[in-house]
Amino acid sequence: MDKKLLAQLVVLFLVTQSLGLFVALKLIEADVSAPIITDNPDDPLNTVGLIAYILVFTVILLIAVKFLKEQLLYLLLKAIEGIAIFGTSILVFGSFIESLVVVPLAALIVVLRNIFPNHVLLRNFTSIIATVGAGALIGVSLGVMPVLLLLVLLSVYDYVAVFKTKHMVTLAKSVTKKNLSFTYALPTKEHQFELGTGDLVMPLVFATSVLASTKPLYPFPQYLVPPTLILLASLTGLILTISYLSKRIGKALPALPPQTALMIAAFFLSKLIGF
């Protein structure tokens, strides 16, 4: 695996997850959550609801990709991107600065993203913000068991969408061609790898959900041990996937299934050692 690619991947993962855990802690302390179907975070109906939202959104995107003219499709995707960046920026920046500055700053980020649409660092920055905001909020809103169920179902879906129906490959190609903040750009001399934000969102969702369950029970820094183990396991799965792909340029491979297997193993390891 290219050393530059590995370094980019590790730095990107650590920055995103560290920031995500910090924002999650702020949300937990403020008792902020976003009920999906029911107010009970441990209700598996929330998982079913979230999966349904994802499937409906995916179908809408596929219809748009197939039937909309290129310019209209671009405008639609840019609108979705702008809404996602604006909403998650408010959530993330609100964890650091005064509320009066948050909305103008979030709006500025959206404006800059549109002024400099091809700026790779700005795209990665906005992708980090979107990942952190979405991952932290979903994580504090779902209990550990619903998240485990969500991970397993999404892993199966990821496999089917890449290898069977291949519609995820179609969506990925459409997004990467338009340089949108739904993927991270990892450029090397030979090739620019595109990593989906979902591959960093879901580890953060799991780690945040576990953090919400351990924080009331253990002092600092012990309550960070299980989430950290989960994230390290996820990073291992991601490195293995990208390492495989770096030797097979152009091949699509879902990263979530190996990440999920390793994260679940790390979660049960944390239980075995007393958490």
- Half-sphere exposure (CA, 13 Å, Cβ side) for 108? 6
Of residues 99 and 114, more confidently modeled = 114
More confident residue, 244 or 93: 93
- Strand 183-187 to strand 192-196: parallel, antiparallel, or no bridges (unpaired)? antiparallel
Q: Which band of pLDDT confidence, cut at 50, 70 and 90, is reported for residue 202? A: very high
Decide which of 275 and 10 is more confident.
10
Grade residue 248 by pLDDT with cuts at 50, 70 and 90.
Answer: low
Report the alpha-carbon angle 206-212-214, nearest 5: 100
Better-predicted residue by pLDDT, 248 or 239: 239
Handedness of CA 29, 31, 37, 43 (dihedral sign): positive
Mean pLDDT, the chain, as a whole number? Answer: 90
Going by pLDDT thresholds of 50, 70 and 90, the confidence category of residue 171 is confident
Q: How far apart are CA 70 and CA 9, in angstroms?
A: 31
∠ Cα 135 118 248 (to 5°): 70
Long-range contacts of 182-189 (CB under 8 A, 24+ apart): 182/81, 182/127, 183/127, 184/12, 184/123, 184/124, 184/127, 184/128, 185/120, 185/123, 185/124, 186/5, 186/8, 186/9, 186/12, 186/242, 187/8, 187/120, 188/2, 188/4, 188/5, 189/2, 189/4
pLDDT of 250 reads 62
**Residue 153: what pLDDT?**
94
CB atoms inside a 10 Å sphere around CB 209: 26
The reported pLDDT for the residue numbered 196 is 86
CB 61 within 8 A of CB 54: no
- Give the model's pLDDT for residue 194: 81
Residue type, 262: L
The pLDDT, as a whole number, for residue 245 is 76
pLDDT-derived band of residue 125, with 50, 70 and 90 as boundaries? Answer: very high
The pLDDT of residue 1 is: 66
pLDDT at 249 over 70: no
Candidate from 37-46, 155-164, 171-180, 216-225 with smallest mean pLDDT? 171-180
Average pLDDT estimate for 153-178? 83
Asked if 126 and 109 touch (Cβ cutoff 8 Å), the reply is yes
Distance CA 214, CA 227 (A): 9
Angle between helices 198-214 and 256-272 (to 10 degrees): 20
- For position 96, what pLDDT does the model report? 87
| Band (200; pLDDT cuts 50, 70, 90) | very high
With a pLDDT cut of 70, the percent of the chain lying above it is 97
| Range from 6-15, 43-52, 177-186 carrying the lowest mean pLDDT | 177-186
pLDDT at 224: 96
Per the DSSP assignment, residues forming a β-bridge with 183 are 196
93 pLDDT higher than 90: yes
96 Cβ neighbours under 8 A, 6+ residues apart? none
